[in-house]
Structure 1
């Protein structure tokens, strides 16, 4: 276990799925977790399970006003921020040629703009502290492509590229920025995507060398490493957590 005692961590999209797994792990390592999610009731309920004075707060990452208000509330209550995990995401699967521009806008607004909004809102505090860790959740779709996820792949590719550039810009302040790229994961999002194709899970499990989908805790372990001093000399990196599906 990493030692995050006394650290203040914001995790977006943390009321369910991978985000919830990350919140649970960071709290287990001693952090106070701000469970940020558009579903306020679920965020509050998740935070109540974590301990360490963790709180739930409603945040719409596509709205800069909402993000700024949430970050201001965190600073008013806790006085600082040490860790940011940009996890909030959304996807709609289908052939690009048949996709709708409105869905493009939503995918990009949540996955890419959401990451930009929250990172920029939190950075002044990390810069002032001359310390901090930002972990952006990308996707292996950004690294190798994924049929039916063209716009999502593009948005997550932006997240990966943004992470590398932000790492360069903020290293002088001892801020580390890394990206964690999940492969197929057993989450509510995957359940929704695979509902129309019940054989998708079986096919993926056969294709993945470790023969299973990722569980939220698999991603949480990687995030906890990047959040802690165990990775004090690592920045600008992209880590695939895919059970070997996308070896490179």
Structure 2
């Protein structure tokens, strides 16, 4: 028996329309999972569906996860179709690099709403007996920015630090319900967010960032593979941990 397989597991993934979320969706499908994919952009989510392994059972929810009023109903409907949830990956996230003088209360609120609060709200729904399998695993995508200081990232870093510490508390509380909770902290990964950032900061600054990654910039599937491990039975004795997947970035 392959302990790393996700066969017979239903995994819910937020932010599934691009970047790490799309890659997690594709790699989980290759590992045999059924999927409930959530994103705001229907066109991009359809693209993700087209990349999944053949015969993957997948359902989509087009929704803004910061508007949580009817989210439980939408999830309940998909669970009825695909079966109870064995895993959850919170990939939805927004990143802003701005000097502190350009930060304001609204920016903090917007970033925390997506990166932190919506993920914990979904975890609350999925921790209910009627939606989850006896044993399940929740994975929150954090960032090395939640552990090391980075210029221009006060709000983003604060939100990702909150993900790590919040996930630890969830791990303690939900262990009695058979739920493991961990976070994954990537460094720079080759996604549309990174491309956009590199366009804004100029060649020299981009070169500096590249130098800080001894193994180079990561690919989204590098993060997805770490998530698959944490969702699988191979990691059954791991909870409350933050797995750093950063090409050596935080070893400096």
Instruction: Tell me, yes or no, if structure 1 residue 21 matches structure 2 residue 23.
Output: yes
Q: Is the Cα–Cα contact under 8 Å of residues 12 and 87 in structure 2 kept in the other structure?
A: yes
Aligned counterparts of 2:162 and 2:129: Cα–Cα separation in 1 = 24
How many angstroms apart in 2 are the aligned matches of 1:80 and 1:100? Answer: 40
Alignment of 1:1-248 (within 5 A): 2-50=4-52, 51=54, 52-125=56-129, 129-199=133-203, 200-210=205-215, 212-247=216-251
Runs of 4+ aligned structure 1 residues displaced above 6 Å come to none
Structure 1 residues 162, 127: closer, same or farther in 2, change over 3 A? farther
Contact (CA 8 Å) 1:126, 1:132: kept in 2 or not? no
**What is the RMSD of the two structures over their aligned residues, measured on CA atoms?**
1.7
Task: Show CA shifts across 1:18-49 (max 9, x none).
Answer: 11111111110000122211112221331243
Structure 1 residue ranges without an equivalent (≥5): none
What is the total number of aligned residue pairs between the two structures? 247
The CA deviation at 1:125 is 3.6
* Closer, same or farther: CA 224–100 of 1 in aligned 2, 3 Å: same
Question: Which shifted more, 147-156 or 34-43?
Answer: 34-43
**SS of residue paired to 1:186:** coil
8 Å contact kept, 2:79–2:131: no
Residues 48, 77 of structure 1: CA spacing in aligned structure 2 closer, same or farther, 3 A cutoff? farther
8 Å CA contact retained: 1:47, 1:55: no
* Alpha-carbon shift at residue 66 of structure 1 (Å): 4.5
Deviations 1:188-239, CA, capped at 9 Å, x for gaps:
11122221123233221112111x1111011011001001011011100001
Paired with 1:94 and 1:126, the residues of 2 have a C-alpha distance of: 42
Distance 1:125 1:44, change over 3 A: farther
Q: Normalized against structure 1, the TM-score is what?
A: 0.94
**Whole-Å separation in 2 of the counterparts to 1:77 and 1:98:** 46
Hey, what's the Cα distance between the residues in 1 that align with 2:234 and 2:109?
37
Q: TM-score, normalised by structure 2?
A: 0.92
